Amino acid sequence: EEGAGPETIRPLVVPLHAADLADLLERLTKDERLSVVHALGEELDSDVFAYLDDTVQETITDALPNSVLSTFVQDLDSDDVVDFLEDMDEEDQKEILSFVPAEDRALYEQALSYPEYTAGRLMRRETVTIPEFWTVGQTIDFMRDSDGEGGSDLPDDFYNIIVVSPNHKPVGLVQLSKLLRTKRIVPVSAIMETDPKLIPVDLDQEDAAFLFRQYGLVEAPVIDESGRLVGVLTIDDIVDVMDEEHEDDMLKLGGVSEDDFYSDFLKTTRLRFSWLLVNLGTAIVASLVIALFETALSKVVALAVLMPIVASMGGNAGTQTLTVAVRALATNELTTRNALRILTKEVLVGSANGILFAIIMGIVAWLWFSDPVLGGVIATAMILNLMIAGLSGVLIPLAIEKIGQDPAIASTVFLTTITDVVGFFVFLGLASVVLM
């Protein structure tokens, strides 16, 4: 396929949906990707950029002149433009925007001025608004007119009409499905949903996603500090946010700082290195604890054989608790109000499983090394480590959240450090006292 020319590529790729073309581009190597983009030329659907992974998008935008990129910008919806521009450096942003008509440019510049990860960055700026005193008939006539000669002022698709006060504050929402089934003479105020959920423009995108999920919203008006309507958040943007947030939680729990699936080998190595370095530090700490008991280890080699079991069981039990706690924090189900109850439960669960595995492992160690005292030592260490694991699994993410950080990011490394240190210390310490 090395030699496939533009005439071969174009007819295969042009009929694809933008989302599918984006997937295709993501799966190609960098060179193949650029041949497809060049083969398409101006036929490249701008919407593709709304679906592309950021790393992949960068390889394409880096290869195209800013004058070409600016033509894509002019085809995109305002929320997708912001998404397209926000990852570029400021110089490129400026140059691309310099090709764009002045009024649009001001719009995009304002959108980019909102902090990243807020509703302001995500929202669509085109809104459909009507005054409160209109009737259903007036509203429908207005919509038919605004789609006339002057080109469509209305967004491509929307689900509600926003009823605004004279000073442009949202006072209600009219569902299109309700508008359509209502007689022309009825005033919109009679069918509008009053007291709609409003999203402050500086609200964190994660909190906005929470509101959408909590109340089953598909669209919500966004307001500025003075309560005036500035845009609309729609469910498709929120679905992307949910996806990102989830990816984030999952990757961070796995010790991956950002999605590196499409990053090249060098960048991936660099991204993963720092986390592994932290882990090396904690592993050395655990080894220092082991080194405290060199005498015991050199006399009873069974201790070296069994000690990883105590640490591993603590790490796994703690990870179970941690995972449930991080998830519950992300969904606002774990709060300071019920923290004590959850903590108590997790310590109880840890103790109960600790006792069960103490019995199992105590017997295994006794039979394996024909030493009932060794069985007793590992049993005791097991109970203690699993209790501490349950305790740490709740307390660590709560503490990280309390200081304003993402509990997913460093929880795992703290937890396993604690369960390793406690596991080795209790098991080897007790053995030194009892067996020597």
Strand partners, 92: none
CA distance 163 to 10: 46
Segment interacting with its own copies (CB under 8 A) among 5-13, 58-66, 110-118, 273-281: 273-281
Taking the least distance from each CB to its own copies, the nearer of 74 and 298 is: 298
Is residue 291 a contact point for its own copies (CB under 8 A)? yes
| 205, 420, 421, 427: residue in contact with its own copies (rule CB under 8 A) | 420
Q: Which of 419, 427, 425 is nearest to 391 (CA)?
A: 419
DSSP letters, 65-133, are -HHHHHHHHHHS-HHHHHHHHTTS-HHHHHHHHHTS-HHHHHHHHHHHHSPTTBHHHH-B----EEETT
CA distance 220 to 235: 9
Is residue 232 a contact point for its own copies (CB under 8 A)? no
| 74, 98, 287, 405: residue in contact with its own copies (rule CB under 8 A) | 287
CB of 353 to its own copies, least distance (A): 6
Is residue 429 a contact point for its own copies (CB under 8 A)? no
CA distance 415 to 315: 7
| 272, 366, 410, 429: residue in contact with its own copies (rule CB under 8 A) | 272
CB of 291 to its own copies, least distance (A): 5
Is residue 215 a contact point for its own copies (CB under 8 A)? yes
Decide if 139 contacts 188 (C-beta within 8 A).
yes
| 72, 84, 212, 414: residue in contact with its own copies (rule CB under 8 A) | 212
Segment interacting with its own copies (CB under 8 A) among 59-67, 71-79, 223-231, 305-313: 305-313
151-180: contacts with its own copies (CB under 8 A): 152, 154-159, 175-180
- Token pair 């700490």 is found at 285
CA distance 329 to 83: 28
Taking the least distance from each CB to its own copies, the nearer of 229 and 325 is: 325
Is residue 279 a contact point for its own copies (CB under 8 A)? yes
Segment interacting with its own copies (CB under 8 A) among 34-42, 68-76, 91-99, 208-216: 208-216
| 183, 226, 336, 404: residue in contact with its own copies (rule CB under 8 A) | 183
Taking the least distance from each CB to its own copies, the nearer of 230 and 330 is: 330
Q: Which x/- pattern over 247-266 shows residues binding its own copies (rule: CB under 8 A)? A: x-xxx-xxxx--xxx--xxx
CB of 78 to its own copies, least distance (A): 16
CA distance 430 to 425: 8
325-364: contacts with its own copies (CB under 8 A): 326-328, 332-335, 337-338, 341-342, 345, 348-349, 352-353, 356-357, 360-361, 364
Q: Which value, to the nearest 10 degrees, does the dihedral of the CA atoms of residues 206, 211, 217, 223 take?
A: -80
DSSP letters, 280-323, are HHHHHHHHHHHHTTHHHHHH-THHHHHHHHHHHHHHHHHHHHHH
74-103: contacts with its own copies (CB under 8 A): none
| 200, 308, 376, 429: residue in contact with its own copies (rule CB under 8 A) | 308
Q: Give me the count of residues in the chain.
A: 436
CB of 260 to its own copies, least distance (A): 6
Look at strands 219-223 and 229-234 and give their pairing: antiparallel
Q: Which of 164, 182, 307, 157 is nearest to 222 (CA)?
A: 164
Which strands make up the sheet holding 170-175, listed edge to edge?
Answer: 129-131, 160-164, 170-175, 193-194
Kindly report the CA angle at 33 between 31 and 47, in degrees rounded to 5?
155
104-123: contacts with its own copies (CB under 8 A): none
Please compute, for residue 432, the number of CA atoms within 13 A of its CA located in the half-sphere on the CB side.
15
Strand partners, 170: 164
CB of 19 to its own copies, least distance (A): 5
| 6, 14, 17, 30: residue in contact with its own copies (rule CB under 8 A) | 17
Is residue 367 a contact point for its own copies (CB under 8 A)? no
Taking the least distance from each CB to its own copies, the nearer of 62 and 294 is: 294
Segment interacting with its own copies (CB under 8 A) among 58-66, 85-93, 144-152, 224-232: 144-152
